[in-house]
């Protein structure tokens, strides 16, 4: 059981390369926090600072109310599971899991109890006598997790643990991690992934890292929230585009009526669209981006539509159909609509789209109107 408090944490490599800045984050006991962000934004760096494998350049890290900046890794009660699960190839599953406890000179009985309990949690009991080479990738990763469980750490850190596994195994192992977490409600976990679905399904809260506006190479926290908070009320265009797949469509628009709800006109529509996001009288005429998720786009026959375009590509996935529209000259990213069910023969058709006011987001200078 442990809570963590990061205050103003910063990382500067080699005295010059600023990577992370102003990291403020409270993690409660039993949470499963997921860090997401672009490659190179400092996710591994942040985990390594928490583990004590990397010096903290500024700010403080507290575990259970105690500042641990200068506490060595072995005394922090933290276990880290990496993407590459380096198991000892000549040792059985049992011995791989027992190794750290043997080094720590625990009694045979204690070791046996810990290894068998971990194997039971991870469904590895029948594989205890096998060598790693006789296991699947997913089973090997479970042994790697087992090695940390036997030490009974207060905090588990996972750095993209599933990214070496193929798609089917990723799904299976992801579900196992979710079940494992349920069996260990008091364990605090921090999990780094670039996989959307892992983040959405595993996290109690997601932390999105983004480049600070003043400098493209320093990163900080863009938003922290439950998966659905980030999905439903992203605070910025960045978070809006980062969470959800395909990414949220952003249409150039103008506010034409303000108040409790906001009426907008988009450049690619003939009519208007209303958002439940409130706006102020002085917003009249403001140039904004109108955000509509592909799954919230609705085809309409009305003359009041936010977007109209020709279907360039149609992807039929069975449960949904993805329609891709070109926006016009000089604009690369297509507008995408995700319609439930099968819609054959839409390619080449002109389709008009709108959305439920409750699902229409508004961004000004990159920031959601809800958060200014
Ligand atoms: N030991 C190091 N020395 C200097 N720069 C480093 C070192 N480790 C990582 N970096 C840099 O810090 C940034 C963040 O790296 P990392 O934490 O690995 O990102 P992520 O895990 O989000 O992909 C990158 O620009 C990387 O090149
Ligand atoms: Mg990394």
Q: Give per-residue pLDDT as tens, 346-368.
A: 999 999 999 999 999 999 999 99
Out of 241, 275, 305, pick the residue that ends a domain: 241
163-176: average pLDDT: 86
Task: Give the distance (Å) from ligand 1 centre to CA of residue 209.
Answer: 14
CB 259 within 8 A of CB 279: yes
Nearest residue (by CA) to ligand 1, atom 25, is 40
Q: Quick one: 14 and 132 in the same domain?
A: yes
CB 337 within 8 A of CB 353: yes
pLDDT at 371: 96
Q: Is the CB of 172 under 6 A from ligand 1?
A: no
| Spatial separation of the C-alpha atoms in residues 92 and 154, rounded to whole Å | 26
Q: Quick one: 228 and 250 in the same domain?
A: no
Task: Give the distance (Å) from ligand 1 centre to CA of residue 40.
Answer: 6
Q: Quick one: 49 and 188 in the same domain?
A: yes
Q: Is the CB of 163 under 6 A from ligand 1?
A: no
pTM of the model: 0.93
278-306: average pLDDT: 97
Average model confidence (pLDDT) across the chain: 94
| Spatial separation of the C-alpha atoms in residues 306 and 262, rounded to whole Å | 14
Residue 289 has pLDDT above 90, yes or no: yes
175-189: average pLDDT: 92
Q: What is the CATH number of the domain that holds 217?
A: 3.40.50.300
Q: Is the CB of 43 under 6 A from ligand 1?
A: yes
Out of 218, 241, 264, pick the residue that ends a domain: 241
pLDDT at 167: 86
Residue 216 has pLDDT above 60, yes or no: no
CB 58 within 8 A of CB 25: no
The mean-pLDDT minimum among 214-228, 236-250, 273-287 falls in 214-228
Nearest residue (by CA) to ligand 1, atom 23, is 40
Q: Is the CB of 42 under 6 A from ligand 1?
A: yes
Among positive and negative, which fits the CA dihedral 42, 43, 44, 50? Answer: positive
pLDDT range class, residue 169, cuts 50, 70, 90: confident
Q: Is the CB of 228 under 6 A from ligand 1?
A: no
Residue 45, CA atoms < 13 Å, CB-side half-sphere: 23
192-199: average pLDDT: 91
Nearest residue (by CA) to ligand 1, atom 27, is 40
Could you give the number of structural domains in the chain? 2
Dihedral class, residue 223 (left if φ above 0, else alpha if ψ from -120 to 50, else beta): beta
Q: Quick one: 220 and 248 in the same domain?
A: no
Question: pLDDT, tens digit, for every residue of 75-90?
Answer: 999 998 877 778 999 9
Q: CB neighbours of 19 closer than 8 A, spacing ≥ 6?
A: 11, 12, 13, 42, 45, 217, 218, 219
16-25: average pLDDT: 94
CB 253 within 8 A of CB 290: yes
Q: How many residues does the chain have?
A: 372
Taking the CA of residue 192 as reference, the ligand 1 atom at the shortest distance is 21
Question: pLDDT, tens digit, for every residue of 124-154?
Answer: 999 999 999 999 888 998 999 999 999 889 9
Instruction: Note the maximum CA span of the chain.
Output: 77
- Of the candidates 323, 76, 44, 301, the one whose C-alpha atom is nearest the C-alpha of residue 158 is 44
| Spatial separation of the C-alpha atoms in residues 370 and 262, rounded to whole Å | 12
Provide the domain limits for residue 24. Answer: 4-241
Nearest residue (by CA) to ligand 1, atom 17, is 42
């Amino acid at each position: 059981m442990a809570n963590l408090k990061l205050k103003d944490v910063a990382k500067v490599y080699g005295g010059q390369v600023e990577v992370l800045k102003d990291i403020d984050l409270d993690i409660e006991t039993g949470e499963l926090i997921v860090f997401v962000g672009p490659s190179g934004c400092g996710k591994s760096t942040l985990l390594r600072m928490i583990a004590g494998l990397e010096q903290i350049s500024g700010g403080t890290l507290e575990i259970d109310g105690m500042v641990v900046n200068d506490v060595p890794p072995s005394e922090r009660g933290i276990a880290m599971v990496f993407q590459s699960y380096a198991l000892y190839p000549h040792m059985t599953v049992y011995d791989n899991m027992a190794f750290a406890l043997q080094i720590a000179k625990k009694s045979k009985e204690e070791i046996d109890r810990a290894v068998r309990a971990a194997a039971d949690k991870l469904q590895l009991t029948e594989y205890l006598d096998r060598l790693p080479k006789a296991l699947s990738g997913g089973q090997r990763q479970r042994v790697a997790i087992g090695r940390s469980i036997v030490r009974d750490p207060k905090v588990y850190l996972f750095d993209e643990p599933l990214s070496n596994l193929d798609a089917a195994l990723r799904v299976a192992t992801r579900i196992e991690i979710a079940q494992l977490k349920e069996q260990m409600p008091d364990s605090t976990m921090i999990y780094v992934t670039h996989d959307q679905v892992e983040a959405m399904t595993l996290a109690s809260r997601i932390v999105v890292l983004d480049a600070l506006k003043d400098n493209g190479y320093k990163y900080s926290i863009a938003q922290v929230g439950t998966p659905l908070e980030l999905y439903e009320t992203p605070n910025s265009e960045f978070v809006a585009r980062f969470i959800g797949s395909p990414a949220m469509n952003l249409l150039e628009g103008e506010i034409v009526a303000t108040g409790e709800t906001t009426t907008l006109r988009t450049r690619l529509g003939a009519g208007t669209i209303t958002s439940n996001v409130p706006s102020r009288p002085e917003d009249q005429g403001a140039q904004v981006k109108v955000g509509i998720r592909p799954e919230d786009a609705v085809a309409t026959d009305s003359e009041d539509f936010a977007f109209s375009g020709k279907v360039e590509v149609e992807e039929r996935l069975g449960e949904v159909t993805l329609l891709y529209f070109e926006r016009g000259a000089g604009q690369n990213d297509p507008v995408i609509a995700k319609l439930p069910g099968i819609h054959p023969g839409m390619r080449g058709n002109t389709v008009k789209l709108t959305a439920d006011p409750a699902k229409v987001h508004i961004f000004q200078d990159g920031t959601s109107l809800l958060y200014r």
